[in-house]
Structure 1
Amino acid sequence: MTLPPQSWDTHIYLPPDRASTGATSLAGHLVKASPAHNFALCMSITDSPDTLPVFIDTITALNEMHRRARGTVILRPDEMTPTRLRTLQSQGIRSIRLHIVRIAMDLGADIGNVEKVISGTAQRLHGEGLSWPIDAQLSLSTWSRLSELLVKLHQEFGTTFIADHMFCAGPDSAGSKDFGRCLDLVERGIVHVKISGLAKYAPAGIETLRPIIEQVLRCRGGDMALWGSDWPHVDLEGDRAEVDVEEQLSRLKDICQGLGEGYWEKLTVENAQRLLL
């Protein structure tokens, strides 16, 4: 499927053999794997700090191929030093992914401790004059519980957030109070939403998530939605799923066109350019 010129894949990972493959070769894998022209690479929960150099080098290699590339990195709070943040900005990094929050919530951490990590990150970024959004893959209920904090941080620092995989909402989430709270954050311009991870959250097919996708796209006239392939579709155990990205995009285009003019271009091009460049 042909995407609009200058389209973006905002949720794509380095392939599993990253440690033994040069950056130019890795960049070539990404170009072949996704129909998008530009890329926002994500570090995954399984990436070690040793991955960062090849991650940065791959962003550089993509840019040298006349693509536009940016990155989302995972950093611990103690790693967010002024020098580190400024260096990453110059290397094309444009957001921080707080996987430590996801892990903490999975382990039953107190929500207050999680809020401290998010607040501290927002304060550090603001202090360095960086408008990076804070990216996270959290459960729908966790996003809902954090909603008051996110509003506060947005008002205080101008912080925005990115919710991976549509807040991890499932087919039964449409109409729930938690999803309603999350949509309010989107409508207020506080949370951007990646329409990604469709194979994970709609194993019976993308049509089961159509109500969720449509509601996300309708917020602010489609200005807050981003598309991501989630390639190479590897789970925490290292198993790789076969995903028909072309079919997913065809269905997404149909949904966008059903909502009106311009939604498809916003999802695949315009929103990412505004957020990442």
Structure 2
Amino acid sequence: MLNEKRLWEYPSQLLGRLRGRGLAWAALALGLLILMALALRMVSGVLRRDEVWARIQRDKVLRVGMDASFPPFETVDAEGRFSGLDVDLATELGRRWGVEVRFVNVSFDGLYDALKMDKFDLIISALPYDRTQTRDLLYSPSYFNAGQVLLVRGDDLRLRSFDDLEGKTVAVELGSEAHQLVRRLARDKGMHLEILAEREPEQTVALLRQGKADALVCDRVTAYAYMRDTDDLRLVGPPLTDEPYVIAARADAPILMEQVTRALEEWRANGLLDELLRKWL
């Protein structure tokens, strides 16, 4: 016959064993979680390594690539002196980090390849954002919007936005982005306006100044160039399109790009970026 006392003790012993095993499994699971956390931290540390930033800090040299043929953003004189908005941005980065800035002049089409070949650390060269490059490169926030804008005569107070061009005449460069944009906006908005398309950009601004056109649509860089010549023109309304100019670094330089982004954000907040834009544009 079964011992009645042992029969009653068996469930409690079984529960004790299960409880012991449960604690063991819990301890094992906790240990695995700790190991996983440490492993993730180590992997994160490896991924966060930035040899480019480490070299800049060690050698005290920042190498900046640009195509110095696009004033007022970048140009170089016969004696090799660089100047322009992008040059000032790079110089401010060097001052901020306490390093020397060395400029490398490369044709615009070769900038990306030269960056990937480690010819320099950053591209600062009126560089439009290119989402097709985001797998291999890191981009900063925009520091200038070079999109299409609306330019009018300074004494014409009737026009405040593109919508005010109903029944008016708009000058554009023939076949340009501005030409296509004005046609599309007029069609989409159901507006009736006359488009004067000229082969040469100088002809378009001449039409505006002569009163033969009520407005001119062009990119923002060109608009600023026209306004530098005389004070009889002004911009109205927000940009009609966005073409952000950005700074680029290789994908393996995340800390460097973080530092660039932090600098641009601070300069936008404290007014330094606006000061440089006014100086050159």
Is TM > 0.5 for Structure 1 vs Structure 2? no
Greater strand share, 1 or 2? Answer: 2
Greater helix share, 1 or 2? Answer: 1
Give TM-score, length-normalised by structure 1.
Answer: 0.26
- Over alpha carbons, which structure has the higher Rg? 2
Give TM-score, length-normalised by structure 2.
Answer: 0.26
